[in-house]
Each structure stands twice: as C-alpha cells, then as structure tokens.
A = this chain, B = another copy of it.
C-alpha cells in the first residue's frame, strides 16, 4: 500500500492507495461517528455497496443510491440527499462516505460541505478518473448554465483508494481516467508523459495502475498545495478543460465521458499552443496515442458560437475574455487570454484539422 499526505492551508488528510483496502475499511474510520451515510451510484452499488455496508456494521449506517452520470449533480438531487440525510437522523457528528467516481465524490462532498454547515466525509474512489477529484478539495454541483458552477473547497478526512475496484471498469472509463493522468504529465513531467505514451492502458496490472495514480496525484497535490484556492498555478490543472466542459455540455452529458471530452480539449489546447509557440510534435504524438486507444475524436457538427458562449460562462473567464492554459513545451504551461474572434477562428480550424486527421 502506498500512502501520501495532502496538506491544505488549515488541515491535512491521508490518501491510502492499494489493493483490497475495502475489506479492512473499518480500520480507517474513527469509531466515534454517531452515524454514517454512504452515497453511491447504481453501477457501483451493484459491485461494492454490500462490501462497504458489511465493513461498517458497527456503525448506524445508511445509504443512498443515485443514478450514475453527470445529470445527478443537480440542485434537485443535492436537496434530495439533504432531505434523506435529515430523515435518517444524521447530525453534526455523522460521516458521509462518497463511494464512486467523480460525480459521486463531487455531489456527496458538496452535501457534506453544506449539511449543517459541514460534516466529515471520506472518499472511496472507484474509477481512475476520480484520482483527480480526490486531491484538491473541489466539490460542486452543476448549474444548467455550466458545470461545477455551484460548489466550494472542502477537503475529505481521508481518501481510501482500492485499485481492486478498478477491475470492473470498462474501456470507456479507463480511457476517461487516463486522459487526466496524461494531462497531469503534460503540465509538469515530460518523463512521465513519455512513459505513458508507451503504455497500453487497457492492459496494465494493479502495480502499474497504483504507480500511475500515485504519480498523477503527486503532481496534482504539489500544485494544489502551492495554490489551494486557485489564485495562480492551480489554473494549470484546467489544461484542456475550457473546451472540454463546453463540449460536454453542448453534446449533453453522457455523450462523451469527462475524460473523453478532456482528450479533445487537450488536443485543442496543444493545437493552439503549436500555433502560438511553433511546435506541433506533442499535438501529433498525443493524437496518435488517442487514436490507438480508440478515444472518440469524431464529434457531431456543433455550432461554434454556442460553444464559445459556453466557454465564456466557465469559471476561468477573466473580464469576459477566455483564458486558456497553453503549453510552451511539455512541463511548461502558460496562461493566455483570447478575444472571442480569435477563439472562433481556433475552434473552427481545429475541428476542421481534427476531422481531416481522423479520416487518414
């Protein structure tokens, strides 16, 4: 088992990373909680809810099962969980456990952050993608005008990452998770990036997965610890996300997984970077790697102005100008603002080139 301590301004919390941690879950949980509420989704519940409920028998334990997918991060679902938590009798000394991927973590975390002004929560990520949201204390729900627009910074008490739960992931979820790992490598570690380019992500063993996850989380933790509230360098973690968020929304959540949208967003950011800094190598090798791993890069025709407007309600907008994270080279991110007109041109030429690249 690997372990790392994530420090925030006022507190710190451990991440436990290894195999078969779920079986000894009770070891990681303070026995003094008055009750425990496990929040999970239907998919994860099928595989792991019984294990978790059994491991927590000693507590007064309740559970809520939500529908899988981004649409569950709604204000209605958020309120409904509050209602259920109150009717279960949760109090300020109760614990919420988020058992699942990023959606469950974001939603359950935001409920924990706001239930009676904040109670403890523990994350048990069951996807590769969730390694990303396990570090950094971002919790949120969606607004119909944009993703993650209602939320806060609220760190878990602990993250218990059992890679045995990753065995049940399908290819889509594996590539979705690896898009974020690739992003972490791109913004800070060329050797790790090159290592990933040589990996077949559908055929990794538990040990390799632990290493990749550990490496990715280390990169993220190091950035977040320097800038918890996203005043400066934390913005680099949004590399690829300005387009990705808009794309997910425009196509409707569920069409592309978050990571699949990020993959296209990474290519877009690298495409602009190539244009601004004059080196297209990274764009090309990554495009090639995405194609080899069957990332869906062919997307339906979209209205460029709608997409632009969605990019502009993003949280990273500064004075109504879109601020992009670009890459001077691997490991060297930089922020740059663009006018609407420049953005429209880039979006148009990027998608046209991407479609050509895929036809080949």
Contacts and interface: CB of A to CB of B under 8 A. Distances in A.
Interface of A: 9-10, 34, 75, 79, 82-83, 86-87, 89, 91-93, 113-118, 138, 140, 143-146, 148-153, 229-230, 313, 315-320
Q: Which 8 A-B pairs have the closest CB atoms?
A: A116-B315, A86-B145, A117-B151, A114-B150, A75-B79, A117-B152, A91-B317, A34-B319
Contacts of A148: 117
A318 B86 contact: no
15 contacts: A79-B150, A83-B143, A86-B145, A86-B146, A89-B320, A91-B320, A92-B315, A113-B152, A114-B150, A114-B151, A116-B149, A117-B138, A117-B148, A117-B152, A152-B152
Contacts of A315: 91-92, 116-117
A96 to B, nearest CB: 14
Contact of A115 (B116, B149, B229, B320): B149
A308 to B, nearest CB: 14
Nearest to A113: B152
A116 B92 CA distance: 25
A318 B91 contact: yes
A148 B116 CA distance: 7
A91 B322 CA distance: 11
A281 to B, nearest CB: 34
Given A91-B318, A114-B152, 9 more contacts: A34-B318, A82-B149, A86-B149, A91-B315, A91-B319, A93-B319, A115-B150, A117-B152, A118-B229
Contacts of A113: 152
Contacts of A87: 145
Nearest to A140: B117
A348 to B, nearest CB: 24
A92 B149 CA distance: 11
A11 to B, nearest CB: 10
Nearest to A316: B92
Q: Which interface residue of A9, A143, A150, A229 has the most chain B CB atoms within 10 A?
A: A150
Contacts of A10: 9-10
Contacts of A320: 89, 91
Contacts of A319: 34, 91, 93
Contacts of A143: 79, 82-83, 86
A91 B317 CA distance: 7
A89 to B, nearest CB: 6
A152 to B, nearest CB: 5
A153 B148 CA distance: 20
B145 A83 contact: yes
Nearest to A74: B79
A248 to B, nearest CB: 17
Nearest to A111: B150
Q: Which interface residue of A116, A315, A320 has the most chain B CB atoms within 10 A?
A: A116
Q: Which interface residue of A10, A75, A149, A320 has the most chain B CB atoms within 10 A?
A: A149
A315 B91 CA distance: 6
Contacts of A230: 92, 117
